[in-house]
Amino acid sequence: MTKRTMVVITGPTGVGKTNLSIDVARHFKTNIISADSRQIYKEIPIGTAAPTAKELEKVPHYMVGIKSVTDYYNAYEFEQDAIKIASQLFKNHEVAIMTGGSMMYIDAFCNGIDELPTIDPELRDSLMAQLKNDGLESIRQQLKYRDPIFYGQVDLKNPKRIIHALEICLMTGRPYSELRTQPQVKRPFNIIKIGLTMDRDKLYERINQRVLKMIEEGLEAEAKLLLPYRDHNALNTVGFKELFAHFDGDHDLARAIELIQRNSRRYAKKQLSWFRRDPYITWFQPDQTDDIIKFIETKLLTKD
């Protein structure tokens, strides 16, 4: 019997992954697993551009709206949950689809990740207090001492990444980089990776328009309801950070929208840089649906 195949469709925010994935899933009469680290949260469908009710009617999606913003969730947990879902899907489908732009989630699913500990809330509170009182540089220096390898790789302006790595170091007594570089696992199914890209100016304009659409759909009201939970990691993301600052009086709504657009474009650039390092991704334009389906069908015929 032919080995089952997971088709992973990825790419930057706003490029058109959802529509393309639905078309591909309908062609192969299969279902979709979302690999979006924010679409898992049920309270923020607008800010994460989660699949709409109509889209969910077309193709069943897993891992959408399954957690609350108050829940802690990480790439290791996603790997475990997504593998279980894939195993169930492959009982009735030869092909399944995974789609999303969360780099660590896709990497964890495809390559595996060692179990990382659930972080002690007191440790997190302590580091957040240190960040507030002593500044980011004090956190950076701790990470540099405990894990110089990851210190040389991480974005030193990103407190979220720095604190997370330091938490792991302190919880395990081992460098975070050591836990991230274990041998690649061998999955009991094939994986085909499809990357979506387009001209940069066109992508950036799509992102700008997407943000405006989110505002029209009620993003500001969605963020306002979540103000009491603003310190939770799920809301430390583009769209909500800028609106929270607006509510604080740091800038007006027009400026918040500009910042969401700018930061979304920056995130898209970072996603593309990450995914382009993966030699197993074959790149297409999002309007090449027929070509993508033919490519997948050809690959299916040549797989073990």
For the chain, the domains span: 5-113+183-302, 121-179
What is the tens place of the pLDDT at every residue in 63-122? 999 999 999 888 888 999 999 999 999 999 999 999 999 988 998 899 887 666 667 777
CB neighbour list of residue 195: distance below 8 Å, 6 or more residues apart: 10, 11, 275, 276, 278, 281, 282, 283, 284
Distance CA 121, CA 143 (A): 19
Please report the pLDDT score of residue 153 as a whole number: 85
| Region for 12 from its dihedrals, namely left if φ exceeds 0, alpha if ψ lies in -120 to 50, beta otherwise | beta
Question: Does 46 have pLDDT greater than 60?
Answer: yes
Architecture, CATH, for domain 121-179: Orthogonal Bundle (1.10)
What does residue 47 show for φ and ψ, rounded to 5 degrees? Answer: -65, -15
How far apart are the C-alpha atoms of 132 and 137, rounded to whole Å?
A: 11
What value does the mean pLDDT of the chain take? 92
Cα-only R_g, the chain: 20
Is the model more confident about 270 or about 202? 202
- At the topology level of CATH, where does 5-113+183-302 sit? Rossmann fold (3.40.50)
- As a whole number of angstroms, the distance between CA 5 and CA 94 comes to 6
pTM for the whole thing? 0.82
CA 67 to chain centre: 15
pLDDT at residue 141 is higher than 50? yes
Q: What does the pLDDT average to over 38-52?
A: 96
User: Does pLDDT of 52 surpass 50?
Assistant: yes
- Please give the Cα distance from 128 to 134 (Å, whole number): 10
Torsion angle in degrees (nearest 10) through CA of 158, 270, 233, 62: -160
The residue that leads in pLDDT, 77 or 43, is 43
